[in-house]
Amino acid sequence: MASGPDLRKTQRHLPTAASLLNRPDIGDGRPDTFALLKTATTLRREVPAQALIACTAESGRRRREWFVSGIGHRRSHARRESGPGYHERRLRLLSGAAEVFKEKGFQAASVNDIAARFGGDRASVYYYYGSKHEIFIDLIQSAVTEVVEAAEEVAGSGESAAARLERLLATTMDLYEQHYPYMYVYIQEDMRKVPGDGTPAGKELKRLSDRFESALHRIVDDGFTEGAFREGLDPAMLIFALAGAVNWTHRWFSPGGRLTGHEVGAAMAEIFLSGVRAGPRTRRPAKAAPGGQANAATGKKGKPRKTGS
């Protein structure tokens, strides 16, 4: 960091040098050329090159700190003294940010994108949040917490493993619908690529993810212990299949469709628990069709043709 004397000297000479360098006719013998050379010589003599670079960076840093600390102070004050209008606008900002994250993904989305969807500028976003990561965490944390707590309640109930699995899928999809699109914003992101994993919020999201997985493990393990799930299946593969089926819904499910979230979850449970393969069926013999009607076996009119013995 530049020292005080270096910073003062640089600040004294830089305006003159900058104003002269901006002139298009520097170097054509005008007196300004000599003034510039004198200023540059003074700078070189009084301020080392590294100090000059540091001073320039220091000046920019101070301006940034002033801006961030000022808006940060206003944001903290607004949260303490906030009224209904503040909360309404913040929720509208979150709703717009969720749409941007869902469309572009966390990495590609910018504060400018969020500000445009909100109908303001970057400063209006920073009035409510310090970064897009802070917005992302606030969007998803309460929704994820509710899903995890519901999963733990289902896993700990006294129902059979099959009944718990069905209720877990139906409840989870119901909550996904209630918190749309916030849960899908979370699901579609690779959280390893979202900065802030070392923050308290990032660690809490990791704990919540582990808790949901533990609840699912408990139900699956109980299903094999009870004999409700077919022997020989790989428990890990079943868990991956269940989680994958639910998580992939972010690609095709949205509220207001043919099925509700609860119905989607129940249908998934039916597919997993009963499968899709039909059981053996007894083939009915073809009936003789009355004259003039198509025969059921041959598609031709008249009596059925005898087959060879």
Give tens-digit pLDDT for 176-201.
Answer: 999 998 888 888 876 656 655 567 77
Supply the pTM of this predicted model: 0.60
Residue with the bigger pLDDT between 8 and 153: it is 153
Find, among 229, 254, 82, 77, the residue nearest to 165 by Cα. Answer: 229
| pLDDT given for residue 203 in this prediction | 82
Q: Which one has a higher pLDDT value, 193 or 58?
A: 193
Distances (CA, A) of 146 to 54, 96, 141, 178, 211: 49, 22, 9, 11, 12
Could you give the residue ranges of the DSSP H alpha helices within 190-260? 200-226, 235-247
Cα separation, 91 vs 129, in Å, equals 12
Give Cα 91 distance to the centre of its chain: 17
- Other C-beta atoms lying within 10 Å of the C-beta of residue 168: 24
- Going from N- to C-terminal start, the domains of the chain cover 4-75, 82-130, 137-274
> Angle 29-30-34 (CA atoms, 0-180°, nearest 5)?
85
- The pLDDT of residue 27 is 39
CA torsion sign for 182, 187, 189, 192 is positive
Q: What is the pLDDT of residue 156?
A: 96
Side chain identity at residue 189, one-letter code:
E
**Is pLDDT at 275 greater than 80 in this prediction?**
yes
Of 43-47, 172-176, 206-210, least confident by mean pLDDT is: 43-47
Long-range contacts of 246-251 (CB under 8 A, 24+ apart): 246/169, 246/172, 246/173, 246/176, 247/187, 249/173, 249/176, 249/184, 250/183, 250/184, 250/187, 250/188
pLDDT number for residue 298: 38
User: What percent of the chain has pLDDT above 90?
Assistant: 41
The yes-or-no verdict on residue 39 having pLDDT over 60 is no
Q: Identify the CATH assignment for 82-130 out of 3.40.50.10310, 1.10.3710.10, 1.10.10.60, 3.90.1150.10.
A: 1.10.10.60
- Say whether pLDDT at 25 is over 60: no
CA separation, residue 9 to residues 36, 51, 299 (Å):
16, 10, 103
- Of residues 174 and 296, more confidence is placed in 174
- The β-bridge partners of 294 are 301
CA atoms 161, 164, 166, 172: torsion sign: negative
CATH class of the domain at 137-274: mainly alpha
pLDDT of residue 309: 41
Percent helix / strand / coil, the chain, rounded to 5: 70, 0, 30
CA distance 219 to 158: 11
Neighbours of 174 (CB within 10 A): 19
Say whether 265 sits in a helix, a strand or coil.
helix
